[in-house]
Each structure stands twice: as C-alpha cells, then as structure tokens.
Structure 1
C-alpha cells in the first residue's frame, strides 16, 4: 500500500509510546511517594533512562514500529505483546542482577510503572487501530498508472500489481504498437504515440515504461513529454534479477549501476562501529568470564581425555582466506575432525564436551580470534575448508557469505540453522540466512542476535549437540 504519511505515523507511534512510558513512571512515582515511600530523585533519573533504553532495545529486536500502517489488528497486538514481554523480562533480569536497593527504588514502584505502562500503551494501540480503520482512505495514496510495452517485462510488472492490490497502484491498461501481445481483454489502450494524450485526458498519475533498450529513442521521447506535463515516469529495466534478491541503483555521474545487493558493511563507518564493538565485547568476555572459566574447563578436559585443551582447526574466513579457529576441545583426539561434522550421539564427544557444546562454552576461545581480527562476534559461522570446497559447487550463493568476517554467532544460528548439515537444503537455508544478514546488517541487529543467542543458551537449543 502506498501511504502519504507512513514515516510520520511511525514517528508518532514511537513518540506516544515513549510519552506513555514516562507518564507511567511519573504516575507510579506519585502513587508510591504519596504513600510515604521515599524515593530519591537523583537515583530515580537513572531508572528513567534505563526504562527508555530497554524499551528502545526491545522495539528494535521485535520490529514493533515496522510497517505500522500495513499490519492488521492481530499482528499489531502480537507485536506489542511480544515487545512488552521482552521489555518486562529484560527489566526483571537487570533487577535480579543489581537489585532494587542499588537505586533506592522499591519493587512496588517498578510493579506499578510496568503494569500502568502496559495498560496505557495497549489502550493507545486500540485507539490507533480504530483511527487507522476510519481514516484508511485518507492515509492511502492510490495511483492510476499505465504500462508502455507489453512484452515479458511489461506483463511481469502488471502481474505484480494484480497480485499485490495493497500496493496502491491501479493499472488502467497497456500502450504498445502490437495489440496482439496483450492477452487480457480490455487492457489495450492504444499505440505508444497515443500514450501522452490518454494520460492527460484520464488523470493518470504515473507511466511505467517497459520498452526494450533497443527503443531508446522512444523511451527518451516519452520521458521528455512526461516531464513537460508533470507526469511521473518510471523505467522498468530490460534485465532484472531474481525477485528474491535485493538490489539497488547507484549513479556514477550520469551512468546508473545496478548492484545485486546492498552491503551496509561496505561503509567504513559501519565497519569501524562493528570493529570497536568486537574489541570491547571480546575484552569484556576474556577479562570477566574467560579468565576464570578457562582453568576450570582446562582441568576437566585434561582429566577426561588425553590431548590439548584447545582444538585448533583451519577454517574459511573473510574473502575465503584460511585462518586458525580456536575452540575448547570437546572430542577425543581423532583423525576425522577435519572432514567429519559432529552429529547427535557422536561417540567422539566426551562428557564435558557434550556439556560445553550444549551451552556453547566451547566457542569462548574464539573471542581471541575476534580480538585478533579474523572473526567477529556476529557473522556467518566459519566452515571447514573441505565443506567450503564441497558446498561452493552445490549452493550458488555459498561463497557470498565470505564477504564478511565469520562470527561466533549469527543470524542463521538464532533461526535454527545450526549443527549438522545433513542435506544440501540444510546448507542452502543457512546460506540464505547469512546472505540476508550481509544485506541487512545494523548495529542493533547485532545486539539482537547476541541477546537471542544468550536466550537460546538459557532455554536450550535442540540442535546444540
């Protein structure tokens, strides 16, 4: 659906939700303070900031404000409840760690503010849905269009609009010098030369030009005429990529260049943000977790089986350059580790190995890989060299994942595509998830993946073995 005010409505929803969050906290403050419970104002302000930041994180993880005008009522409330439960869970988790006494805030205050916030935002979503339903015609910006050229490209764009009525575009018909190309009765409007006249007489909003490149002169003539009469003119390229792929257009001076995918990490600024986070996060884990975890696991690993504490394997890295990947050894020393994946009930796995694999503790040494710079906290999981050679011949986009540094965790892993890949279809799903991450990276997405990885460890992952 084409909407006039989609960006404004999204910002409005975000603003009102934050307003209600802070109003809820203020009302809870008045209620508790009015009952004689003393809350230090200087200690109250950090709680306000914490609540606002946690709501920001929760909405970005669930995508609450995405497509606010397109979601139906059920999906709108599903998204709200999911976000609200995550918000409450994160607050509860922080309270368990630091306690309420740290900020001199009572549990009663927290309970009032959270419940009041849920009620107010839930009520606001109901009001918003009623307003949206009654004003949908005002919000929707429907447009009448015509298509010039009825070849395969023109028919493809027509079929898209026919199957996506919500897009807001209504196709009035085709203009082509060969009427026989148009199978649908009543859609032929005339020859290409009749196009501009029809557009002016019938209030057409846009022209979609699907003529082949061999008719460049006709295309330029139509474009010039459309500009003269303030008619929007759009060109459908003669060659376009598989519709499942994303693409965008860059301009090198006057030359349009179609890129088959957008890569946010091609930006130096984004790479810097990701690298700084990798260093800070890795140092935190190494200093505060690995420092005491290592001696404990090292002793148990050595007691249970002969061999080194660390398992070091050459794997495929960024740009397909090999690197040494470190893990805690979870198997008995064997000759098949470089060619055979671990499988459920694998006899090579030791008792402590089964535990650290289930909890992903075996991956902790990879924070040193991240600190060095040949891995990242989040990214496609690195594969054995033999698997890279094998699957690069079977899966078309397999090598695309190597545009990124491999990660300790990734989008594929939190979506269930981890563990043994028994079939080519299993690997295809993993690769598609990795490519999606490549095309949609953001810092908040990395935070979301890290949180969900931690959550999966707590609740247990059936594919972790």
Structure 2
C-alpha cells in the first residue's frame, strides 16, 4: 500500500476539524444549522479539489505549497464572507468576523507547519523511506542523485546499474543484474535513464514493474533542452513537453490575478485618482503648456498594441515616441521631474488595468520602436510578451527601470521578467507592490 494513502484524507479531516471547531466556538450563530455546515464544508472540498491542494508528491515541501495555501485562503475567504450575505443575518460585527477568519487561517497555517515538520523528522530518521535504484548512467544521474540525497524527501538511494563498469561505490552492476536485485532488496522505485537503455530493456523493466508492484519512472533523453519552466502535458497518450510553462497558464490563476487587478485599480481610481487628477491638472497648467495626459502606443500581451496612459511629464516634442527619458533630459518639465521621481506619472495606467490592457504587476511595456530593436538583439526578449504588461514589475523593484544605458540593463530586465512569469503567485504580486511603494521613499538613481 502507498505510504501516502492516508495523508490526503487525514489532512483533509484535520483541516475540516479546525474550520468547524473554530466556527462552533467563536461564532455558533453562523454555524449551528445544516445549511451553514454544508456551505462551509462543501466549499472547502470544492476549492481544495479545484486547486489540487492535497497532492502526494514526495518532493513537495511547505515553501512550494505556500502559493497554493494563500490562494486557498483568498478563495475560502470570499466564500466565508459571502455567507453573511446569502445566509441569515448574524449578531456579529464585521471586525469580529474578520478576526474569526484570521484565526482559522492562523490555525490552518500552524497545522501545516507542524505537518511538514513532523514529516521531515520521520524521513530524516528513515522511519519511512522509499528504496530507490537508477538504471543507466548519463549526465542526469548526478542531478537526480542530488534529489535523492535530500533527507526530507524520504528516498533511500541504493545505487545504479549500467553496462559500463565503474569503480563508484554506488555502482551495483550491469543492467541485467538489476532484474534480480530489484526483488532481492525490496526496491520500490526504479528510475530508468532512457538514453542508456534499449527499447527492449525498457519494455522488460515495465513488465517487471507491472507484475510486481514496483514503480518505474522513465527519465527521457533531454538533449539538454529541459528548463526549470518545463512541464509535461498529455495529448491523449502522447507526452508533450511545454518548455515555457507558467502558473498563469491556468485559467483559475488568470482569474485570480484579474479579480485582484480590478479591485486594486478601482480602489486607486476612486480613492486616489479622483482627487489627484484635478490637483495635477491645475499644477500642470501653471507649469507648462500641453494636455494633462500623455498617451503612447506600446506592445502588450502577444505583442498586441494598446494606448498606454501617463500624466504628461515632458514638454511637447517630436522624440517622445522614439527616445527614452535620460538623466538631465531637457524635455522634462519641473512638475514632470517630481511626477517621475515619485512614479506618480504612472498612476493613470490604472485605467489601462481596469479595461484589461495591463496588469498591476508584470513586465513594463516598451515603445514599439524599442520592441522592434530588442526582439532581434536580446535573447528571449519576446518571452516577456506572454504576459500582460504591468504598472510595476520584478525588474523595476530590482533596479532595472528607466533608461537602458548598457546592454546588461535590458538583458537583466528580461531575465527578471521571465523569472516572474515562471514563479508568479498572488503573494509574489503583493510583495512587488509593497516593494514598489517602499521604493518611492528611497532615492532611486534611475527615477528621472
């Protein structure tokens, strides 16, 4: 029986016990009827199922699951607070209900921490471990050995088989020797390096596995093409490698990001731009001639063109669509200098976010002329156009904003944009937003 057989149901039951007991103790009026009980428990079931929140992957750890955990909190929070609209009114204040929800989140987090902590102890002591061998030896052997050698993953690496003899202490013999060894030593998982095995050898090992409750895993000959962003998709029974996978390829992830963008941009438009636009308009009329807003065609997702809006920070000039602002740029007005240093000039782009051309966080959109320049001169430049452009981004908070002085500036910008695409999470977006706001109060050398 799979050692992980009871992990999912036990974790699921523990989480439901925490939720139900907290609601029963702290807000009994919201809980003590059959409709409320079904509402909270079924909601948890469907959300965790949709997020695939209870996987049994051996290599999963707390940090990897953290993104899913906060997404779960966000979605369950929406369900939780909407219950006070759809179900009967309750005698609790909004402030108290928020405290109750945060208590549930805290208890679930503590349980999750204890779960991974105790699991890691068990695996380090090898009370529960998976006996593993590798058949074949190529460049991937060292890479997979690093995984097996991490105690928290619970592998017990026995050694490898290959038809080329070796003096390595982990060399166990030829491929033919492996057949008996697997049974005699109760090996549970067999990893086969496809580059070193013939078709008949792989088929023979598959037959052994299918008839003996052994797990066999094939590591394909990667031709050095694999990357950290790669994923494998099944088209019927055909495995297809997606070399540029992103969490935002998932529909629910895009939906969460879009909902966040709408609510955040609406808040900024209502509570900030509603009074800031008239103030900037008056100051701009006193400072220089020209319109309040500056609009420019820029490339967005899939290289689609859209109008990007900013507060005008320069005097009217013929180079505005071809030349970036430079240090000491004579085109920048006095008011424009203040707007640019504080990034206030970018705030009208929240209208772009609201209508869907941009996101709060993402790669900064470039002028059309610069896209044409960099797509042929900078490796992987166009990868950043798989995402909606953002008002701010990881590259910007890492210091790669504004003028491109050296080629390394645009190369590093692209590198950070791709990293963001591969590692996106709603928590990551919030961290970048907080860092952006913090940077406003710190002198940025490129804020001109």
- The normalised TM-score by structure 1 is 0.67
Q: Which residue of 2 aligns with 1:76?
A: none
Query: Given the alignment, which residue of 121, 130, 155 partners 1:169?
Result: 155
Q: Does 1:157 align with 2:140?
A: no
| Residues 136 and 196, structure 2, Cα contact 8 Å, conserved in 1 | no
Residues in 2 aligned to 1:461 and 1:6: alpha-carbon distance in whole angstroms: 50
Residues in 2 aligned to 1:347 and 1:402: alpha-carbon distance in whole angstroms: 32
1:374 CA displacement: 2.1
1:301 CA displacement: 1.9
Partner SS state of residue 244, structure 2: coil
| Residues 312 and 327, structure 1, Cα contact 8 Å, conserved in 2 | yes
Residues in 1 aligned to 2:303 and 2:10: alpha-carbon distance in whole angstroms: 44
1:409 CA displacement: 2.2
Partner SS state of residue 137, structure 2: coil
Query: Given the alignment, which residue of 153, 159, 164 partners 1:178?
Result: 164
Choose 211-220 or 309-318, whichever is displaced more.
211-220
Q: Which residue of 1 aligns with 2:134?
A: 147
Choose between structure 1 and 2 for higher RCO, CA contacts under 8 A separated by at least 6 residues: 1
Q: Which residue of 2 aligns with 1:357?
A: 340
Choose 398-407 or 350-359, whichever is displaced more.
350-359
Residues in 1 aligned to 2:141 and 2:171: alpha-carbon distance in whole angstroms: 12
Residues in 1 aligned to 2:110 and 2:250: alpha-carbon distance in whole angstroms: 41
The structure-2 alpha-carbon separation of the partners of 1:128 and 1:461, relative to structure 1 and needing over 3 Å to count, comes to: farther
| Residues 149 and 157, structure 2, Cα contact 8 Å, conserved in 1 | no
1:223 CA displacement: 1.1
Q: Does 1:431 align with 2:417?
A: no
Q: Which residue of 2 aligns with 1:452?
A: 434
Residues in 1 aligned to 2:397 and 2:341: alpha-carbon distance in whole angstroms: 14
Partner SS state of residue 392, structure 1: helix
Q: Which residue of 1 aligns with 2:357?
A: 374
Q: Which residue of 2 aligns with 1:318?
A: 301
Residues in 2 aligned to 1:69 and 1:267: alpha-carbon distance in whole angstroms: 20
> How many residues get paired?
398
C-alpha offsets along residues 57-102 of structure 1, whole Å, 9 cap, x if unaligned? xxxxxxxxxx999689xxxxxx9xxx9xxxxxxxxxxxxxxxxxxx
The structure-2 alpha-carbon separation of the partners of 1:8 and 1:168, relative to structure 1 and needing over 3 Å to count, comes to: same
The structure-2 alpha-carbon separation of the partners of 1:236 and 1:134, relative to structure 1 and needing over 3 Å to count, comes to: closer
For structure 1, which runs of at least 5 residues remain unmatched after alignment? 27-66, 73-78, 84-102
Q: Which residue of 2 aligns with 1:341?
A: 324
1:345 CA displacement: 4.3
Partner SS state of residue 393, structure 1: helix
Partner SS state of residue 464, structure 1: coil
